[in-house]
Structure formats: C-alpha cells, structure tokens
C-alpha cells in the first residue's frame, strides 16, 4: 500500500519539530550537555505534588467535568485576578486543558475557517504555524528583529492586517527569544486592534511568571476594551516546573471559550483529575516557590549572557522565559550548520533559530533551564567553538 497517498495533505505539509530533531540526536550520544529543550530542571515543589497525591488518596480517580473541576477553575481565575487584575467567571470563561499546547490547538480549530488569515509573530514557538495549518488557515508571518529587542511593533502588525485577517497569535515572554512586551509596548498593539475590532487575539503567556523586569505580568487582557476578543493561553509547566502534569488553561469571553470546550469534550474529555488538584495548590500558594526558581533562572541568565561576551557573540538582553537567542551571523555557517557541528564536535545540544521561523535564521536558541555546572561547561565550549569557526573563515 502507498501510505503517502492516504495521508492528509495538511499533515504532510507540516514539518516535524526541529527542536525534537536535535533533542533526539543528543539522546543517542554519550555525555552530551543539552540546552535544547524548554524543560525546567527543578522538581515540582513538594506541596504541589502532595496535593496531587492527596487527591488520589481521597479517591479522585474519575473523569472531571469537561471544562474542569469548579474548584480548580476558581483557583485559576482567582490567580488571574490577583496577578493580572482581570476578572473571569470560572463557570464559563475558563477551560482547563491538557497543557497550554492544547489550548492553542483548540482556539485555532474553534475559530479558523479555511482561507482565514492568521498573523503569527515570529520567531515563535513551533506549534503556532502548525496549529493554523491543521485548522486550514493561512499563516501570515510578522517578523520581529533583534534591533527592536524582538518586540512586536505596531506598524508591522498594522501592515500585515487584511480583510481576511481572523486572528493574531502572539507569545510573550517569548520562546525562543526571551523578549518581553511591557504594558507601554502593548498600548501600541491595543491601538492597532481598536482600529480592527473584529480580530481575535490568542495570547500565549505560559512564561508570564518568568519575567525579570516586572513584578506582575503584562498582558492585553489588562485592557478592558479588548476583553471581548482576547483568549489568554496559560499553564503551569514552565513557571511551576510541572511539565509532566500536562495541565494548562484558557481564559476569555464565554462566547469563545464555549466552542473550544466543545472540541475539548469530544477529543480529550477532560484534563487529568490528579493534575487539577495539584493546580489548586499551585495557583493558591505557589508564589514563593516561583520566586525561588525565577531568582535562580535570573542568575543563570547572567552567566549565559557573560558567556556570549566571552565567545564574541552579540545577544540582545532577554528579560523573560529561560531562553537566550544570540546571533551567530558572520561566522561562516548558518543556524543549522552551527548547531549540528556544535553538537558533533563539542557535545552541546542547542536549537537553530530557523526552527522558530525564517526570521530566526542567523540565531540559535539556548535554554538555561539546566544546571549551573552544565551551563558553565557549555559556555566554555561555545567560546572554543566560535574561535574555531573564526579561524576557519579567516583561512578559507
């Protein structure tokens, strides 16, 4: 049988994740330092794990309501009110999902019709374009640039909007760049959106608590005038070191959350009950643990930035998430060649910038969600490797 003829043309058109490509390569090698995956090296705080364990002891081993337990949704909306100052009704404006990625997929499938244009702010998480394509939408890329600190500029957004634009997908703090949009930055985006009142915004804020310049998250949901058309996708994987719990959420107007819930109930049924009880503890009492992890990430961030200086690489200062996105332009190799050789010759796994969109070419993503010892060793090897590349270029 020719299986290729049986596959969806859309599925065939979506490339596999380049992040996983380098992770898989590294997993087959010995003694590799991996700075390639956005996986916190912390163990989930004990009180959160204990809450999940206690739910099992208490017999919560069954399906939850489709949108999630009411007490879990209430903990999430209370957290959003406390941290963002935005109010949502847990009964209809909050959906608990299997990680933030499911929320993104649900928003795309619930709202996009074939031919709808969806603006994607790049460089970005690899799932954005795939989600649009799987929903038969048309991705329209708006590139951010290093000279603008990888922030979305209002004029760039305005220029990308057409009469076919249905949605904008943006993620700040950014994976892969570490860029942060302040509330002052977002005012310009708000002004553009007010000129186009029918456009929906899907705002991926999974790294909202990993912000090294503002005490509270910045977000479009803080603008009351945009409340009726912003869906915030968020979760607990990164900030709370809960990747294995596979738990996230979406908040937004009930008119948009309801169709997302409809798809969710047919495809997933409900998020894991154990994880939903862990979320109650995380949302209600996790602030101190977040601060401890954030402070450690901030320390590592400074070590990484200093390592780039030692290696002669330029990098804008990332103020969010746990990624840095240095430029490797001028070294005589492209992003993928740089990463392949760095892995094979120095046993350090990182990710090429073009994995996050064409505007990421000339950069590489380095995750500092790793031990300090591994980070320091990787930075030493980076300096050796870049010196080697410069010598090769000079002798070419």
Question: Domain span at residue 135?
Answer: 62-285
Q: pLDDT per residue over 114-154, tens digit each?
A: 999 999 999 999 999 999 999 999 999 999 999 999 999 99
Return the DSSP state at 152: P
For residue 251, the model assigns a pLDDT of 99
- Within a domain: 68: yes
CATH no. for residue 117? 3.40.640.10
- 121 & 257 share domain: yes
- 259 & 353 share domain: no
Q: Is the separation of the CB atoms in 319 and 212 below 8 Å?
A: yes
CA-nearest of 88, 58, 97, 104 to 279 is 97
Q: Is the separation of the CB atoms in 86 and 222 below 8 Å?
A: yes
The length of the chain in residues reads: 396
- 241 & 295 share domain: no
CATH no. for residue 7? 3.90.1150.10
- 293 & 273 share domain: no
Q: How far apart are CA 262 and CA 275, in angstroms?
A: 21
Tokens of 177: 């760049």
- 208 & 109 share domain: yes
pTM of the prediction?
0.95
Q: How far apart are CA 104 and CA 98, in angstroms?
A: 11
Q: Is the separation of the CB atoms in 90 and 324 below 8 Å?
A: no
Among residues 285, 320, 337, which one ends one of the domains? 285
DSSP-derived pairing of the beta strands 138-143 and 117-122: parallel
For residue 16, the model assigns a pLDDT of 81
- 92 & 240 share domain: yes
For residue 361, the model assigns a pLDDT of 97
The residues, ordered by sequence, that sit 6+ positions from 208 with a Cβ below 8 Å of its Cβ are 83, 173, 217, 219, 234, 239
- 194 & 91 share domain: yes
- Within a domain: 53: no
The residues, ordered by sequence, that sit 6+ positions from 237 with a Cβ below 8 Å of its Cβ are 40, 99, 100, 206, 243, 245, 246, 247, 248
Long-range contact list for 386-394, CB < 8 A, 24+ apart? 386/311, 386/312, 386/313, 386/328, 386/331, 387/311, 387/312, 388/345, 389/331, 389/332, 389/333, 389/338, 390/312, 390/331, 392/332, 393/331, 393/332
For residue 130, the model assigns a pLDDT of 96
- Within a domain: 48: no
- Within a domain: 56: no
- 264 & 335 share domain: no
- 149 & 227 share domain: yes
- 265 & 345 share domain: no
Residues of the chain predicted below pLDDT 70: none
- Within a domain: 293: yes
- Within a domain: 194: yes
Give the CA diameter of the chain: 69
Residue 71's alpha-carbon distances to 44, 276, 284, in angstroms, are 21, 9, 11
Among residues 285, 306, 333, which one ends one of the domains? 285
**How many domains is the chain built from?**
2
- 226 & 296 share domain: no
Beta strands in the chain (DSSP E): 33-34, 94-97, 117-122, 138-143, 165-171, 200-204, 230-235, 248-251, 323-324, 348-349, 351-352, 364-367
For residue 298, the model assigns a pLDDT of 98
- 278 & 294 share domain: no
Return the DSSP state at 211: B
Among residues 268, 285, 302, which one ends one of the domains? 285
Task: Please provide the distance, in angstroms rounded to a whole number, between the alpha carbons at the two ends of the chain.
Answer: 49
């Amino acid at each position: 049988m020719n299986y290729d003829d049986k596959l969806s043309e859309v599925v065939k058109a979506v490339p596999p994740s380049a992040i996983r490509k380098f992770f898989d390569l590294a997993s087959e090698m010995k003694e590799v330092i991996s700075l390639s995956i956005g996986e916190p090296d912390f163990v989930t705080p004990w009180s959160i794990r204990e809450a999940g364990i206690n739910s099992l002891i208490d017999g919560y081993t069954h399906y939850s309501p489709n949108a999630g337990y009411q007490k879990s949704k209430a903990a999430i909306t209370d957290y959003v009110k406390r941290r963002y100052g935005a109010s949502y009704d847990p009964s209809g404006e909050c959906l608990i999902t299997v990680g933030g990625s499911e929320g993104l997929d649900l928003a795309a499938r619930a709202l996009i019709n074939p031919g709808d244009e969806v603006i994607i702010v790049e460089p970005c998480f690899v799932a954005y374009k795939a989600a649009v394509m799987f929903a038969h939408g048309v991705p329209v890329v708006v590139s951010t640039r290093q000279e603008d600190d990888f922030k979305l500029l209002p004029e760039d957004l305005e220029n990308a909007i057409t009469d076919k634009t249905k949605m904008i997908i943006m993620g700040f703090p950014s994976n892969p760049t570490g860029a942060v949009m302040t509330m002052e930055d977002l005012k310009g985006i708000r002004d553009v959106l007010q000129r186009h009142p029918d456009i929906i915004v899907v705002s991926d804020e999974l790294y909202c608590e990993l912000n090294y310049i503002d005490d509270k998250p910045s977000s479009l949901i803080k603008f009351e005038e945009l409340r009726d058309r912003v869906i915030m996708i968020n979760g607990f994987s990164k900030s709370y070191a809960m990747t294995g719990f596979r738990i996230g959420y979406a908040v937004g107007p009930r008119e948009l959350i309801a169709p997302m819930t409809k798809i969710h109930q047919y495809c997933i049924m409900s998020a894991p009950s154990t994880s939903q009880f862990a979320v109650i503890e995380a949302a209600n009492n996790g602030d101190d643990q977040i601060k401890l992890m954030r402070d450690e990430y901030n320390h590592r961030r400074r070590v990484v930035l200093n390592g780039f200086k030692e290696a002669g690489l330029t990098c804008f200062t990332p103020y969010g998430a746990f990624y840095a996105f240095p430029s490797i332009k001028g070294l005589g190799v492209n992003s993928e060649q740089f990463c392949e050789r760095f892995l094979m010759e120095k046993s350090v796994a990182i990710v090429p910038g073009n994995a996050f969109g064409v505007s990421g070419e000339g950069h590489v993503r380095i995750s500092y969600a790793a031990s300090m010892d591994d980070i320091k060793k990787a930075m030493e090897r980076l300096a050796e490797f870049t010196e080697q590349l410069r010598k090769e270029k000079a002798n070419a």
